[in-house]
Structure 1
């Protein structure tokens, strides 16, 4: 009796062949050959009703037959089906390649090559529906396909994303403890995984768009320059410099008093004054200042009253400490005792008034006189010699020059 076959399992495969096919039928004992179309292939007769064989390479649909000494069986169709791709994950990656891309589809078991554009990729066949490929280096958007023998699958798009680039950072410096907002400008800011100040990640960051990121600078870096970079799924950018600046230190002020109207010249001493952005006397900003060096500032105080703290602000923050400045009202003279004396001078004159504590000069018609401050309300001056007649006496302090009081120089008798 001639052999008869009733089923093939499976009844299809990839054009590259190589898959196992089980043939079921009857009269299969003594099988001499198994053919897929005209192509003979290796087989093993398991019983009179079953043969196990390996599909040879092929294309299209062919008839499978078994030949025994009793003749050749009927044919059953076997289809060579090209591999097909359904998806890629991820669909993009770094231009340098090296990342794993999962290809899913059908009839992938016999795949022999995987292409990303013109470049071959290393791959592993996981199953008939999955391949894991290692993306080669590339650029732009390329077609990904797989081949099994002479059959090539459909193509899916894969995009190579260049590593991000940094062009600028603003501001370029900030306080040593961090916490300030910094804007990064560049390209390729998509899929951002991190912003780093040296090895320290930014406290937080926001991708504004593909060319701008705002980041909160972290603490933890030493004073001085640190390299800032951006990391995305496509790689790490070049670095730009950012300076971590300690807060300024204010140690002294001279003079420590001045007029309520402000405008006088004051010298501040300390450290870290380079890049000073403002100087405050209490809540009021000084109208002008000059950075003489990293250790000295020349300042014109604003108007004010009372005793106020003085602070210096730089990119590193605002100084702390106990340096203060006292606004002094101009002194006021209310009386002179005596209000006259010999033109030859040498006599003591008591000036009474207010605001006399910091008296620096007592003047008789422009001529300085020796003096002693007794209290905030009294100064004793030694009248200088001068022409007979009335003269104006004034007292000067850091708060200004007082009103004038009249003192009369008396000519000696007989002159």
Structure 2
């Protein structure tokens, strides 16, 4: 028969060497010949062995009284030397403040509890209802408040005992109420900012335009600003939801963008000041009309398909645009182009006289004559043909012998006058 001699275990260190009187913490024992530990004693009280190797044992420390005890290990080789482990009484937790000190009856909000001796909290109660512990340090605990009603006492329990109580009030959140929207309409593409005014709007969890959620930008008790979602051309109800419920709805109108199909006239003086009519659709709520970016004045909405306005000054050919809450028209459809003309100028008449019976062909020389729409001799209309921007051919009407003024007219206005002499027959 063989008999094996086993070396006695030897301890070199404990980690940690202190712990709470409640026990329950993990302690690591380092040393040699520790395999096959039969028992690990904290004083006379056995610990729960978790792991066991030749050089290391981990245990759950048993409870003990505030004092120092000898920790030993027993194996088949005998009993180890003793190392000192000190039980430290946990301090009684003391609460100093709650933030916030109130919340909704439904709970679910985060509450921060400040104080001392809070480490290792085993429970936090709001009245008789336990809270969910999120974080736990010696001076601060964060929890999710449970549901409850009225004013209740908040307490924290640790190994050191149960703390003093601080009051927490469950306040019913009032139902939000809307009084106005600004603006009350917008484009079907959304993306515009809408301001909602009312009461009890704090903590808005959602703002909906019909069934479409908006993006919340700012939120106070009396005002919420949002980015409107897209929606089809229609009227929808806008509502705000908070923990207190959902507000009354207010109407918001999605508007199709305006279209501009034609102008009358398409020509005008560079100085502006003439009346222009715009034809199109979705024009009722027009707020601005621009000529190449320059705002028109004297805007009159005739109908959903017609506007009149006074053209601003400008030059060249420009695009006319119409703006409504539904957006701004584009040049993609119709004929929204407007051309500014320089005032017509006459520099010569060839010939400058003719028979009083009329019928003479007169060449009017000058500039800005392309769009000539009338030629008069002493106020009497003459037949004419615009040959180029510098030349018009006119047939003189009959007139009394003497001198009359010849004038050319374009959409930019009347030209200067030049004298024409009627010779007696």
Distance 1:351 1:161, change over 3 A: same
Q: Which residue of 2 aligns with 1:218?
A: 229
- Runs of 4+ in structure 1 deviating by more than 6 angstroms, as ranges, are 86-90, 99-103, 123-126
Counterpart selection for 1:182 from 181, 191, 194: 194
Once residues 398 and 343 of structure 2 are traced to their aligned partners in structure 1, the CA distance between those partners, rounded to angstroms, is 27
| Cα deviation digits, residues 143-189 of structure 1 (max 9, x gap) | 458xxxxxxx9975211111111111111111211111111111111
Contact (CA 8 Å) 1:88, 1:104: kept in 2 or not? no
Q: Which residue of 1 aligns with 2:273?
A: 263
Q: Which residue of 1 aligns with 2:6?
A: none
Is it true that 1:159 corresponds to 2:159 in the alignment? no
Please report how far the alpha carbon of residue 203 of structure 1 lies from its aligned counterpart in structure 2 after TM superposition. Answer: 2.8
After TM superposition, the score normalised by the length of structure 1 is 0.64
Is it true that 1:170 corresponds to 2:182 in the alignment? yes
Once residues 381 and 256 of structure 1 are traced to their aligned partners in structure 2, the CA distance between those partners, rounded to angstroms, is 25
Is it true that 1:400 corresponds to 2:425 in the alignment? no
Unpaired runs of 5+ residues, structure 2, are: 1-96, 111-122, 133-144, 154-164
Once residues 324 and 398 of structure 1 are traced to their aligned partners in structure 2, the CA distance between those partners, rounded to angstroms, is 15
Distance 1:106 1:343, change over 3 A: closer
| Cα deviation digits, residues 63-108 of structure 1 (max 9, x gap) | xxxxxxxxxxxxxxxxxxxxxxx999995336xx7x7899954995
Distance 1:303 1:89, change over 3 A: closer
| Cα deviation digits, residues 10-29 of structure 1 (max 9, x gap) | xxxxxxxxxxxxxxxxxxxx
Is the partner of 2:419 in helix, strand or coil?
strand
Distance 1:125 1:265, change over 3 A: closer
Once residues 181 and 290 of structure 2 are traced to their aligned partners in structure 1, the CA distance between those partners, rounded to angstroms, is 28
Q: Which residue of 2 aligns with 1:202?
A: 214
Contact (CA 8 Å) 1:90, 1:101: kept in 2 or not? no
Q: Which residue of 2 aligns with 1:249?
A: 259
Aligned length: 293
Distance 1:348 1:185, change over 3 A: same
Distance 1:385 1:228, change over 3 A: same
Contact (CA 8 Å) 1:278, 1:313: kept in 2 or not? yes
Is the partner of 1:160 in helix, strand or coil?
coil
After TM superposition, the score normalised by the length of structure 2 is 0.63
Distance 1:340 1:312, change over 3 A: same
Is it true that 1:376 corresponds to 2:405 in the alignment? no
Once residues 218 and 109 of structure 2 are traced to their aligned partners in structure 1, the CA distance between those partners, rounded to angstroms, is 28
Distance 1:291 1:371, change over 3 A: same
Q: Name the Cα RMSD after superposition.
A: 3.1
| Cα deviation digits, residues 230-270 of structure 1 (max 9, x gap) | 11122111111111112110110111000111111111000
Is the partner of 2:172 in helix, strand or coil?
strand
| Cα deviation digits, residues 292-335 of structure 1 (max 9, x gap) | 00100111101111111110111111110161110001111111
| Cα deviation digits, residues 34-54 of structure 1 (max 9, x gap) | xxxxxxxxxxxxxxxxxxxxx
Counterpart selection for 2:302 from 292, 296, 302: 292
Contact (CA 8 Å) 1:164, 1:237: kept in 2 or not? yes
Once residues 413 and 126 of structure 2 are traced to their aligned partners in structure 1, the CA distance between those partners, rounded to angstroms, is 95
Q: Which residue of 2 aligns with 1:83?
A: none
Contact (CA 8 Å) 1:360, 1:396: kept in 2 or not? yes
Please report how far the alpha carbon of residue 224 of structure 1 lies from its aligned counterpart in structure 2 after TM superposition. Answer: 2.0
Unpaired runs of 5+ residues, structure 1, are: 1-85, 109-122, 127-131, 137-141, 146-152
Once residues 252 and 386 of structure 1 are traced to their aligned partners in structure 2, the CA distance between those partners, rounded to angstroms, is 41
Once residues 324 and 364 of structure 1 are traced to their aligned partners in structure 2, the CA distance between those partners, rounded to angstroms, is 33
Is it true that 1:410 corresponds to 2:423 in the alignment? yes
Is the partner of 1:161 in helix, strand or coil?
coil
Contact (CA 8 Å) 1:342, 1:410: kept in 2 or not? yes
Please report how far the alpha carbon of residue 124 of structure 1 lies from its aligned counterpart in structure 2 after TM superposition. Answer: 11
Once residues 91 and 106 of structure 1 are traced to their aligned partners in structure 2, the CA distance between those partners, rounded to angstroms, is 11
Once residues 169 and 127 of structure 2 are traced to their aligned partners in structure 1, the CA distance between those partners, rounded to angstroms, is 19
Once residues 126 and 295 of structure 2 are traced to their aligned partners in structure 1, the CA distance between those partners, rounded to angstroms, is 74
Q: Which residue of 2 aligns with 1:331?
A: 344
Contact (CA 8 Å) 2:127, 2:152: kept in 1 or not? no
Once residues 385 and 319 of structure 1 are traced to their aligned partners in structure 2, the CA distance between those partners, rounded to angstroms, is 50
Contact (CA 8 Å) 1:87, 1:104: kept in 2 or not? no
